[in-house]
Amino acid sequence: MRDPMNNEPQEGRGVPTDSPSRWDPAKPVVPFDADRGHMLDYPGWRHEQSWRLLEPFDASMTVLNVERGRSAARFWLVDDGGFRYPMFLTDMLTLLLNYGVMAGGRTPRICWGATKRGANYGITPFHAA
């Protein structure tokens, strides 16, 4: 697994695109750290960023930590490639109730999608309609 704190430029997930004019759950465009490839929880004030279309993806994640921001509390998860993703507390409850988390904070391999609440972004267990 790649060191998630590595400062080398990385690609990460998602297809580069322009900043969205509005949120579209069918085509979720989310901010990523342009230098490291991590998904950002809030655009614009901490990192150089790039906007990417984040299609649903399958992955097993590991829970890193929990933090409280200016307007939202969130968990941080990391995938097998070392890329970090924010997750809202309500989405963590969905994860726990529907899929569970193994010892060590490891999730099963499931489908993840992007979500937005207010000005904040995160990932959530994805449920196809």
Q: Record the pTM.
A: 0.82
Torsion angle of alpha carbons 27, 54, 113, 8, nearest 10°?
-160
Which residues neighbour 118 within 8 Å (Cβ) at sequence distance 6 or greater? 71, 72
The pLDDT score that the predictor gives to residue 46 is: 66
Residue 21 and residue 102: Cα distance in Å, rounded? 39
The pLDDT score that the predictor gives to residue 12 is: 61
The pLDDT score that the predictor gives to residue 72 is: 76
The pLDDT score that the predictor gives to residue 44 is: 75
Phi, psi dihedrals of residue 120, rounded to the nearest 5°: -105, 150
Hey, where are the domains in the chain? 25-125
In the chain, which residues have pLDDT < 50?
Answer: 1-10, 129
